[in-house]
Structure 1
Amino acid sequence: MSDSVARQLITSHLVSGEPKPGAEIALRVDQTLTQDATGTLVMQELEAMDLDRAQTEVSVQYVDHNLLQADEKNAEDHAFLRSACRRYGLWFSKAGNGVSHPTHMKHFGKPGKTLIGSDSHTCAGGSMGMLAIGVGGLEVAGGIAGEPLYLRMPEIWGIRLDGELPPWVSAKDVILEMLRRHGVKGGVQRIIEYHGPGLAHLTAMDRHVIANMGAELGATTTVFPADDAVRAFLREQGREDDFTELVADEDADYDVTDEIDLSTLEPLIAKPSSPGNVVPVREVAGTPVNQVVIGSSANPGLRDFAMAAAMVRGRQSNDAVSFDVNPSSREIFADLTKMGATFDLISAGARLHQTGCMGCIGMGQAPASGTNSLRTFPRNFPGRSGTKEDSVWLCSPETAAAAALTGEIVDPRDLAEKLDLAYPQLDLPETATVNTEMLVAPLEPDQARDEELVKGPNISALPDFPPLPDRIEAPVLLKVGDDISTDEISPAGARALPFRSNIPKLAEFTFTQVREDYPQQAAELKESTGHIIVGGENYGQGSSREHAAITPRHLGLHAVVAKSFARIHWQNLANFGVVALEFDDPADYDRIDEGDTLVLEGLRDLLPGDRHAEIRNDTKDETYKLHHRLSERQVEAVLAGGRIPLLARRETADRERVDA
């Protein structure tokens, strides 16, 4: 069989298992990535595991999310992260150095390597021939400690690209076209691999845009070949020696196929409030806009900012629009300034913010209620912006800049007639600015062992969850519909994010976007029965934040019964001892109401031996058939109350063997 790039990467890192779709496999981890919104928990997990030293080739902690310092909490987290990097042997990227994904690609990414990150958009690393997978923080902690990554072998979905993008259409429109066709569940249990002659017209950073938002399709990851475009990117960064060619074999086989003729694409936009709600821009033209934000890991390249700057050069943004720009790194900021693009943006009324994720995670830049915000971001889940009743649209830099100028959604192809604006021809520098001064290298092992973790008052200990009981009898406290996101379970935004390292406090925000009194009601049931949640399709889509599993667990959640689960959240639930069960008959979802008492019995015997279960609805005197997809390894973690106790025991045993 001729191998795809994805299969070559998997085969070269396979530790155990057979790489057949649906089978559990284990992969060697070369690199890890953490960011500050999820990294504090990863470092607490390393402490709980009693880790001595990172076992990966490269592990990097970025500070790019919680940058606003309205009080002491975020600053305390940053000090804790720095101390943990010094103690455990990780690189530390200082606050404001850059958004993790493009910064990692620029300085550490290598074709042929595996990368796991506690951020769902880690898949952006696939743009340069890596197997880059977003996972829960505990998976990353395990990877840092030398554990392999376990996952179910996905199908390989080959997408053939032909043609070349026309003017005013860019890489963001390619991934929006994928979402228009396939929706937010189209990539579930699949690795997307792009191939074909159209690749020759996409730069490495174009590919980053497409790979980044593969997460919005629900894909395990996205893979591009390491070809001349990747070599050129590494040459620009002064790292051409790190290039290794990695391309698909001729006539490579794919489990599923699709194709896109790039020359036929048009400007697209995702309407509120789902990345899968995609329509042509012309279909919604004329809609008033009050905010435009350019930046984020979904459009992080110099080209993306330079295009917006060229479009607004010599013009002024509409007076009804808040025009915001978040450079993705200090190096991009420097190159924009050298080009004169920074001056063009400022003169057009743009507000330049910190180099980081910012409004993408709701850390500032919240829009006004009842107004439309156009963003070059990857997600527009309800309330993610920090405004509860928001109206966020996702689009390319071209479409965003067009709205900034006109105050309404407009197809950028129509700007020639509206504003006498021709398609800009960009002259980007051949060599990128390279500045490693804000990347702090790991200490030597002997120095690192003398380091103490710096913990401010807002940094709590990890909760100690008991083993799974044999019998669960608990009420359905909450019933939610399809595509509930981790943003709705554990919200982003400037109110909640500063408590990411304080689980008891963060728990007070759990599900408040769905129902304000959930935390209070859950806390009241915690010491008696606990509770159960019933969900629809794709429960837990979106961000990898394991807080969305931990805080409900902290409030007494025993089990989630759903039609289906998003990959990362499903794994996170198992990692923290929550039983994830799926309906055999999805119609049974409609038979359960909030307040019904559900009973699961014989769990400690049932889970290890059978994938099938029954749950009794005592309120309605009905029984429903369920199943689970947990491996023996995951069952062991659920029964123990989570993976941390298991990993800690193994780390201690390994150290004792070495000492002996």
Structure 2
Amino acid sequence: MISLYSEGIFLLHGSEIVSESQAVQEMCMDREKARHETITYNILKSHNTSGDMNRLRLKFDSMTSHDITFVGVIQTARASGMERFPLPYVLTNCHNSLCAVGGTINEDDHLFGLSACKKYGGIFVPPHIAVMHQYMREMMAGCGNMILGSDSHTRYGALGTLGVGEGGGELVKQLLCDTYDIAYPEVIAVYLEGKPKPYVGPQDIALAIIGAVFQNGYVKNKVMEFVGPGVAEMTTDYRNGIDVMTTETTCLTSVWITDGDTKNYLESHGRGDAYRELKPGAVAYYDGCVRVNLSEIRPMIALPFHPSNVYTIDELNENPYDILRQVEEKAAQVADGRAEFTLCDKVVDGKIQVQQGIIAGCAGGNYTNVMEAAHALRGRNCGSGDFSLAVYPSSQPVLADLITKGAVTELIGAGAVIRTAFCGPCFGAGDTPAHNGFSIRHTTRNFPNREGSKPGKGQMAAVALMDARSIAATAANGGVLTSAQALDCWGDVPDHEFDRTVYKNRVYFGWGRPNAEEKLVCGPNIKDWPEMGGLTEHILLKVCARIMDPVTTTDELIPSGETSSFRSNPLGLAEFTLSRREPAYVGRAKEVDTFEKARRAGGNPEELAEELSQVFGRIRRLPEFAAVNAAETEIGSVIYAVRPGDGSAREQAASCQRVLGGLANICREYATKRYRSNVINWGMLPFQMEKEPEFDTGDYIFVPGIRDALAGDLSRIRAYVYRPGRDTFDEITLSIAELTLEERQIIRAGSLINYNRKKR
């Protein structure tokens, strides 16, 4: 079904794969020359301003943010001196759309966004009109373009656009006419062959690929380039559903060859001029290859708690108890004794009973998916039991066409609930399941607690990812988990007729028309970033959380869901940091931060509490540190996690630590580039260490001469662990992976805001 090549490959004329060893030895092919023949190379080259393709400094064609991220981005850029948006910037309102939590807070954010678009010249998409990525597909993406978004699922590769999801700091740099700086990434060919079965949907293909590449890191921080004859066997709308899920592989971005169907898609959306043919050159080199036989893929399910935990639905139904027990074991680890979650009890008379189905967002709410679901439920119903089905079309134009074609009537008649364009089910702010509930969803993620459960309060639920076709088949079977293969109704999808009238009438198009006299509308919850100091000569870190889970997601670092109402209030949001994973963290971090601020404000930074006096006393017992000055040593908190940052691009996963006095992260490796970038942009040190941590929560880590260390070799940074009450002072070795000159300067300045203020 899917095979991974253990070496690079040459792709000849877009259809023949030759292994690197064979090509170099027998055919004398030039690998470096062939690297330049990928679609990726040519798009990156056209956007690179450095003149050096090994060290890219990229400028994007446009950007996008939603209402959980755009206030912070704009406030940061504004504090750094921005006067107008220098490139098209789309602000969508698809996350805090409901305005149901936190009083006036969410709608205040929306009014802020509209006023910012008027003041700085942006594009404002009001709540319920479109989810972020669907709007960008319909109105902004084009062949050969690059789009930067403050959301991890910024993926428009099926339209020939390199979409990159990053934290807000990287968008701020573009708003200040700076660049996105990365080393040239490796490029992996995703070679598609065969043809999907009629009952197989884009989510099935995506989950199969994620299952094959996530755990081994095959495409981590690389570009996935979709090629091969199988591309032509799928419509562009179908390809979009696969492409958006590439985020879950931890790749940097993705791009597809373009063809007549891509052209038809863009023309039907009134943007025929955005099309151009993209394909690799006659001889193109890739650093690896994921070979996918589309004909062999079957309906899939990703069980809790990750999109890579995949099985075929048939495999699960044939052996439910053994497989579900494994998930229950993982659920027990997630709950950590605070809540109970069971799955084996969902097996009734040998069949798995599901409580909820959701088809939504940038992955599930596409026209094709919803139309197929409607056809599956024609003349059938969801039943009157505890199973429910909700469908969220991805934009008002999609919904309008579904209404015109009768699909909405069919869905409603079957008992489904139709909702507006909203991303809530994907991050825990919409259709949260009941306690101990099991939800199947065509959305993007099924991480722990992301659906809205709160183990700390005894509430636990879980999500499995499936394609809309199998969700509809399950609904037609009254909630009994059912593969789409059980029905014979697929493939009869009429062409989508896009009508942009709602956009013309409701979206504010202000690009190129800034009005400096316009006042920003700031509600009482919209707060400026607090002041953050620059890096001192030495730092003393108190370990306030030590997390030994294999992966720590951004949802665990800063929970999604109801916390989104505080995303415009840095200190208010920070109160939720690690609240579902390490509830005591905030109190510990605040205690350190309060003391540090008090000793600085008091004018006598040498005045230390008893425990800290002991720490400095132990430090000064070493001759080389005898003169260490507490005034030149900042005291702050640090989190250790094995592999932090999988998941969302949200910068708040890092900024919340920083406003609580965080100075660093320590890990074995960072799960994603975007989380590490967030750590750096908020002035924290992205430390790594190979060994198991020999320190625990409550211990101190002294890092001497860190300002000087940042200017030199970062592969071996001396640090010392002090354990209160034991009088031990043990040396450890930390490291920092490669940093650009600008990243070093940002950390020294204490944050991107400080760096930009100083630069300007």
TM range (shorter): over 0.9
Q: Secondary structure at the match of 1:305?
A: helix
1:516 CA displacement: 1.7
* Residue in structure 1 matched with residue 108 of structure 2 by the alignment: 76
How far off is 1:226 after superposition? 2.6
Instruction: Tell me the C-alpha RMSD between the 2 structures.
Output: 1.6
User: 1:240 matched to which residue of 2?
Assistant: 272
- Secondary structure at the counterpart of residue 692 of structure 2: helix
TM-score calculated relative to the size of structure 1: 0.93
Give the one of 691, 701, 704 matched to 1:601.
704
1:114 is aligned to 2:146: yes
The yes-or-no answer on 1:623 pairing with 2:731 is yes
Q: Given the alignment of the two structures, is residue 570 of structure 1 paired with residue 676 of structure 2, yes or no?
A: yes
The answer to whether 1:643 aligns with 2:643 is no
Amino acid at match of 1:634: E
Name 1:367's counterpart in structure 2.
433
Question: Structure 2 length as normaliser, TM-score?
Answer: 0.81
Question: Could you say which residue in structure 1 is the equivalent of 2:43?
Answer: 9
Shift of 1:427: 3.3
Question: Which residue in 2 is equivalent to 1:497?
Answer: 564
Residue aligning to 2:69: 38
AA partner of residue 484 (structure 2): P
Distance 2:251 2:446 in 1: 18
Q: CA deviation at 1:130?
A: 1.1
Cα–Cα, structure 1 residues 18 and 483, in superposed 2: closer, same or farther, change >3 Å?
A: farther
- Of 302, 325, 328 in structure 1, the residue corresponding to residue 391 of structure 2 is 325
Q: Give the drift of 1:51.
A: 1.3
Partner of 1:404: 475
Measured in 2, the distance between the counterparts of 1:93 and 1:232 equals 25
Match of residue 85 from structure 2: 54
For residue 589 of structure 1, what is the amino acid of its counterpart?
Answer: E
Match for 2:661: what amino acid? G
Give CA-to-partner distance per residue, 1:237-256, whole Å, 9 cap, x none.
12212212222112211111
Instruction: Measure, in 2, the Cα distance between the counterparts of 1:102 and 1:164.
Output: 25
**1:534–1:589 CA contact under 8 A, matched in 2:** no
Cα deviation for residue 17 of structure 1 reads 6.0
Deviation at 1:386, TM superposition (A): 1.1
In structure 1, what is the equivalent of residue 347 of structure 2? Answer: none
Counterpart Cα distance in 1 of 2:115 and 2:719: 47
Measured in 2, the distance between the counterparts of 1:427 and 1:161 equals 22
User: Structure 1 residues 430, 593: CA separation in 2 closer, same or farther (over 3 Å shift)?
Assistant: closer
Q: Contact (CA 8 Å) 1:581, 1:626: kept in 2 or not?
A: yes
Task: Name the CA distance, whole Å, in 2 between partners of 1:479 and 1:491.
Answer: 18
Tell me the distance in 1 between the aligned counterparts of 2:427 and 2:51.
36
Per the alignment, residue 463 of structure 2 pairs with: 392
For residues 192 and 605 of structure 1, the distance between their equivalents in structure 2, rounded to whole angstroms, comes to 38
Q: 1:290 aligns with which of 355, 358, 362?
A: 355
Q: Which residue of 1 aligns with 2:529?
A: 462
What is the letter of the counterpart of residue 536 of structure 1? Answer: V
Residues in 1 aligned to 2:649 and 2:446: alpha-carbon distance in whole angstroms: 15
**Alpha carbons 2:372, 2:493 under 8 Å: kept:** no
Residue identity matched to 1:156: V
Alignment of 1:96-495 (within 5 A): 96-122=128-154, 124-183=155-214, 185-285=217-317, 286-318=351-383, 319-388=385-454, 389-406=460-477, 407-413=479-485, 415=486, 421-429=487-495, 431-435=497-501, 436=503, 437-442=505-510, 445=513, 448-480=515-547, 481-493=549-561, 495=562
Offset from partner CA, 1:530-577 (integer Å, 9 cap, x none): 21111113x111111001111111111111110111210100000011
Gapped runs of 5+ residues in structure 1? 416-420, 653-660
Distance 1:11 1:615, change over 3 A: same
| AA of the residue aligned to 1:216 | E
> SS of the residue aligned with 2:56?
strand
In structure 2, the residue corresponding to 1:478 is in which secondary structure?
A: strand
Of all paired residues, the percent bearing the same amino acid is 29
Does the aligned pair in 1 maintain the 2:198–2:491 contact within 8 Å? Answer: no
- 3-state SS of paired residue (1:448): coil
2:645–2:675 CA contact under 8 A, matched in 1: yes
The one of 641, 646, 653 aligned to 1:548? 653
What letter matches 1:477 in structure 2? C
Alpha-carbon deviations, 1:88-109, whole Å to 9, x = none?
A: 1111111111011111111111
Q: Is the 8 A contact 1:54 1:146 kept in 2?
A: no
What code does the residue aligned with 1:34 have?
S
Letter of the 2:242 counterpart: I
Match for 2:483: what amino acid? D
- Unpaired runs of 5+ residues, structure 2, are 1-32, 318-350, 455-459, 597-634
CA-to-aligned-CA distance 1:405-432 (integer Å, 9 cap, x gap): 221222221x2xxxxx423342323532
* More displaced stretch, 140-149 vs 619-628: 619-628
CA displacement 1:467-494 (0-9 Å, x = unmatched)? 112222222111112221111111111x
Q: Which moved more, 1:25-34 or 1:203-212?
A: 203-212
Aligned residue in 2 for 1:634: 743
CA 621–159 in structure 1, closer or farther in 2 if over 3 Å, else same: same
| Residue 585 of structure 2 corresponds to residue 518 of structure 1 | yes
Letter in 2 for 1:510: T
The Cα shift of 1:222 comes to: 0.8
Shift of 1:649: 4.3
| Distance in 2 (alpha carbons) for counterparts of 1:189 and 1:326 | 31
Q: Deviations over 1:258-287 (max 9, x none)?
A: 210100111111110111111111122232
SS in 1 for 2:390: strand
Contact 1:326 1:358 in 2 (8 A): no
Determine if contact 1:176/1:278 at 8 Å carries over to the other structure. yes
CA contact (8 A) 2:368 2:493 kept: no
Whole-angstrom distance in 2 between the partners of 1:477 and 1:359: 31
